[in-house]
């Protein structure tokens, strides 16, 4: 087990929309009641619809039943943004840059955990390799959100946590969720 290195800012990817443009798209789309109402909601599982994102980005409208979440994951080389359209979502993230290959478990340094609540109308943008989990912690209300990524997601790495230890569990390729 090795310690995760300190966070360093990501270089800007050439071409495609910036994280500011992705966030603007997510916020505008989340504020559109017609688009938000087009999502069928399932009482037990997350639902989603693919959207046309800006500048070749991948975008999704996602429904979150009460008590559901993504689990810890990252979006590899993609930068992204998401905005809450309805309800409230909690994002837990790590303020650390993880190595992209060559490890299965890392011990996280104290103080790298971050948490934020995103009410309807609020959003958040992030750079490559952003490790987080998104949760609808409500016991009774659905949440709906808009997500955009550029470049379109090549893969998602899924993690588990045991206290300060982060474990790489699975790598999903785009063909597995599209």
Closest CA to 85 of 52, 54, 41: 41
Q: pLDDT digit string (tens) for 139-155?
A: 999 999 999 999 999 89
Q: Residue 143: enclosing H or E segment and its boundaries?
A: strand 143-150
Closest CA to 2 of 104, 70, 76, 100: 104
- Local confidence band at 175 (pLDDT 50, 70, 90 cut-offs): confident
pLDDT of residue 174: 81
How far CA 158 is from CA of 2, 65, 130, 171, in Å, comes to 18, 21, 12, 6
- In eight-state DSSP terms, residue 69 is B
- In eight-state DSSP terms, residue 24 is H
Name the H helices within the chain: 19-30, 33-37
As beta bridge partners, residue 157 has: 74, 171
Q: pLDDT digit string (tens) for 100-116?
A: 778 899 999 999 999 99
How much is the average pLDDT of 86-92?
Answer: 98
Q: pLDDT digit string (tens) for 42-84?
A: 999 999 999 999 999 999 999 999 999 999 999 989 999 999 9
Q: CA 65, CA 55: separation in Å to the nearest integer? A: 30
- DSSP 3-state assignment of 174? helix
- Local confidence band at 176 (pLDDT 50, 70, 90 cut-offs): confident
Which structural domains are found in the chain, ordered by start? 17-176 (2.60.120.10)
pLDDT of residue 14: 63
Q: CA 53, CA 150: separation in Å to the nearest integer? A: 9
- In eight-state DSSP terms, residue 12 is P
């Amino acid at each position: 087990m090795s310690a995760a290195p300190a966070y360093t800012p990501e270089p800007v990817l050439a071409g495609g929309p910036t994280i500011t443009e992705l966030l603007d798209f997510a916020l505008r789309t989340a504020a559109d009641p017609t688009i938000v109402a087009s999502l069928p909601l399932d009482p037990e599982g997350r639902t989603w619809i693919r959207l046309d994102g800006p500048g070749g980005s991948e975008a999704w409208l996602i429904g979150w039943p009460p008590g559901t979440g993504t689990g810890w994951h990252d979006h590899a080389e993609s930068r992204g943004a998401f905005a809450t359209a309805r309800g409230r979502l909690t994002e837990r993230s790590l303020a650390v840059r993880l190595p992209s290959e060559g490890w299965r478990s890392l011990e996280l340094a104290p103080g790298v955990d971050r948490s934020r609540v995103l009410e309807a109308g609020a959003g958040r943008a992030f750079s490559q390799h952003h490790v987080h989990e998104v949760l609808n912690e409500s016991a009774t209300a659905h949440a709906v959100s808009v997500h955009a990524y550029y470049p379109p997601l090549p893969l998602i790495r899924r993690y588990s946590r045991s206290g300060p230890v982060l474990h790489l569990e699975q790598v999903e390729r785009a063909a597995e969720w599209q």
